[in-house]
Amino acid sequence: MKHKNIPYELKTWTAYNGQSCKAFTCKHFDFYPYHIISFSTDTEQEMQDKIEDLINNKVAYEAKYKLSTEAAAEFYKQLNYKGD
């Protein structure tokens, strides 16, 4: 399956109690600025909404990544961290 040319798939399994379960899973956003290895949703509409959010708000994700990187750098600077 694809939405906006982004692949995702439907996973199904049986729970320990015999109940049939399903989730939609996407592994496409494992690169800058997202670095999301995988995410899943309960419905296909939720998956499509999440994909659209990631595409439409790329600038916001870039800003969050930059802020996170700067915060980590400042944290290690305070520790006088020299690496392993």
73 domain-assigned: yes
15 domain-assigned: yes
Report pLDDT digits (tens) over 20-67.
999 999 999 999 999 899 999 999 999 999 999 999 999 999 999 999
39 domain-assigned: yes
24 domain-assigned: yes
Cα torsion angle, 49, 54, 55, 58, sign: positive
pTM: 0.78
84 domain-assigned: no
20 domain-assigned: yes
Domain range for 51: 2-79
Contacts of 63 (CB under 8 A, 6+ apart): none
Structural domains of the chain, count:
1
pLDDT at 84 over 80: no
9 domain-assigned: yes
